[in-house]
Structure 1
Amino acid sequence: MTSSVQGDTPGAEWTAEHDVGEAEAAALVGGRFPGLRGAPVTLLATGWDNTVHLVGERWVFRFPRRAVVLPGVEREIATLPALAPRLPLVLPAPTHVGRPEGSYPWPFWGTELIPGRELAEAGLPAAGQVRAATDLGAFLRALHDPGLSAEVGTGLPVDPMRRGDPGVRAPMARERLERLARRGVWRPDPAVERLLAEGEAAGPPPGPPVIVHGDLHLRHLLVGPDGRASGVIDWGDLCRADPAVDLSLAYAGFSGAARTALLAAYGRPLAPERETAARVLAVFLCAALADYADSTGHARLLTASLTGIRQAVSP
């Protein structure tokens, strides 16, 4: 998902520059990887940045949709194979890397399918939410370890999209919410307004940057039917930044006992500045997801995103 805001034209930010269909995906994969030639190809998912196809019922291939995401694609290819073995949840580490050829001008890559449903789609009961939150907290504790950053993260950029700075993200969130309100999707909430005002007056949290997913929202945590987290996907915004950038999902995705379980598993105290930054980013990401979902007809994602905005300001 991108963080840019480009006016009020639905679809302007996620319209593909090159959308790889099933036939083209089969040709690209088969041409680059002879062992997969002739394997069935089915569309698995589309997002702002990638079109994703399932190949041979085992392999997932991601094809960039827009040129702006290519630096992130290269970071995934370079970093995820080293990062994946060091973390407690499965990551989509590239095992098949295709370079530009024919009519498709960009690199693409594949990995084994990670089972599970997006958190936004899972509809977990309360007990399942606690399990998912606990698993996510333990995962983020490992990901944010300063030693891991020193070991494999030294080449990553530092918060290039300034997602850890609530003074940047609060006005962007307000603009998104105003867009949704004009369409009748969102009704202004005084609690959200107070949070955004607090964020606009705040600076970024202090402290050294750590490795972060960078875009950890409701679509990027995969869970099983029982709530156990099975993987974390879509690492195109992988960078070093304040932990608040990833902890935003603690506020957008969970509340009550589940959020308490997540923060307990994370095991590191959250300074007030970090909590504010995480909550503000949660509002922004959910507002952006709601904008996308409303414009593209994703009803369940829209519901989950609007719920996420309200959870972001809940105790």
Structure 2
Amino acid sequence: MKESINKPAAPAAFTSIAQAQGLHLLPETFRYNETGLDFQVIHAQDVKQKNWILRLPRRPDVLPRAQNEHRVLQWLQGKLPVSVPDWQIFHESLIAYPRLAGTPVANIDMEQKCYVWNLEPENLPQAFITSLGEAVAALHTLDTEAAAQAGLKVYQPEQARQKLETQMLRVKKELGVAQPLWEQWQSWLRDDSFWPSHSSLVHGDLQAAHILTDENGKVNGFLDWTEAEVNDPAIDFVALLASFGEETTKTLLQAYEQAGGNVWPRMLEHIQQRLGAYGVNIGLFVLESGSEEYLPMAKTALGLDN
């Protein structure tokens, strides 16, 4: 395993980088958020009392994905009905952008490894479901050819399936997968009726901590676009299904379809299958980050905890 780098950043180093870019931060205002697996996050103010978000890479392996995220965010500016970060500093040691308005649907408790909810997951406002469906539909109906021309990663439907199969094989080889789960994955991979005939630009990690809402529960921002690419649109519903359950996901898909999202007959079942393969994502994180901390979670998700 690679050594994981997870040390608090020295303020002097990145305040100097920010100052060189014309951003004069006040170190006494720094509030540290350690919940991110790939980036340490700091809330800060500048000398004009403007609020900023600072992101500091935890490991070298996150830098290529940060470069991808930068391209995505540059291309997305002004294209969605919700706000996205506007990176005004992009350096290998520091990313900085003005803080977006809104409150995350949930925060992450790192000690307990669970959500602390700001909206009640079992009593979500209709405004949340409608606006989330609209925002995801707007993202998924963006021009993928234009995205490709802007340098974004593009996986056509068959390529998306092949990519997932390659990831599954790597996880099986390097960590292992319980045989019944492996057989379930293979059956799903080979059944065309589950799979979409189109690809969409996806956020890639659309979970509660990355969705901002206003005081009425209306979605007004998406954070953390590290995994964004053109891929299977079902990807953006997996964490939502895990958090909110099947009935809310059905309602969300209706709002998504009404807003122009492309829904196919077995989309919900396909999302459920993707959730059942979530061990692939955790396994890949362990392999690519070198973090032993999440190995037990990966083994559980891969059916290897017995």
Normalized against structure 1, the TM-score is what? 0.67
Residue in structure 1 matched with residue 133 of structure 2 by the alignment: 137
State the partner residue of 2:263.
269
Q: For 1:136 and 1:26, how far apart are their aligned partners in 2?
A: 36
Q: Note closer, same or farther for the CA distance 1:195–1:220 as it changes in structure 2 (3 Å cut).
A: farther
1:66 aligns to 2:59 (yes or no): yes
CA gap of 1:209–1:172, structure 2 versus 1, over 3 A, is same
1:1-315 mapped onto 2 (5 Å cutoff):
15-16=4-5, 19-36=8-25, 40-56=29-45, 58-94=51-87, 96-99=88-91, 106=93, 108-119=95-106, 120-122=115-117, 124-128=120-124, 130-147=126-143, 149-154=144-149, 155-159=151-155, 167=165, 196=185, 198-202=187-191, 205-223=195-213, 226-267=216-257, 268-272=262-266, 274-285=267-278, 295=293
User: Is the Cα contact below 8 Å between 2:41 and 2:53 reproduced in 1?
Assistant: yes
Q: Do the aligned residues in 1 keep the contact of 2:55 with 2:94 (CA within 8 Å)?
A: no
Work out the CA distance in 2 between the residues paired with 1:284 and 1:37: 44
Conserved? CA contact 1:51–1:62, under 8 Å:
yes
Q: Is the 8 A contact 2:73 2:86 kept in 1?
A: yes
Amino acid at match of 2:252: L
Do the aligned partners of residues 176 and 218 (structure 1) sit closer, same or farther apart at CA in structure 2, a change above 3 Å counting? farther
What secondary structure does 1:26 align onto? helix
- From the superposition, tell whether residues 223 and 176 of structure 1 become closer, same or farther in structure 2 (CA, over 3 Å): farther
Q: CA deviation at 1:67?
A: 1.7
Change (3 A) 1:250 1:108: closer
Taking structure 1 as reference, are residues 193 and 164 closer, same or farther at Cα in structure 2, changes over 3 Å only?
Answer: closer
Cα drift, residue 124 of structure 1: 1.1
Question: Offset of 1:277 from its aligned partner?
Answer: 4.2
Alignment deviations for residues 225-268 of structure 1 (CA, whole Å, 9 cap, x no partner): 65432321111112111212223234223224421221011103
Q: 1:150 to 1:140 in 2, by over 3 A?
A: same
Taking only the aligned residue pairs, the percentage that are identical comes to 21
Question: Is the contact made by 1:208 and 1:242 (CA closer than 8 Å) also made in structure 2?
Answer: yes
What's 2:289 paired with? none
Shift of 1:221: 2.3
Q: CA deviation at 1:206?
A: 4.6
Give the paired residue count.
Answer: 271
Partners of 1:247 and 1:164 lie apart in 2 by 17
Aligned-partner residue type, residue 99 of structure 2? E
User: How many Å separate the matches in 2 of 1:177 and 1:225?
Assistant: 44
How far did residue 22 of structure 1 move? Answer: 4.3
Q: How much has 1:168 moved relative to structure 2?
A: 5.1
Distance 1:245 1:42, change over 3 A: same
Q: Secondary structure at the match of 2:123?
A: helix
Letter in 2 for 1:16: I
Question: For structure 2, which runs of at least 5 residues remain unmatched after alignment?
Answer: 107-114, 287-291, 302-306
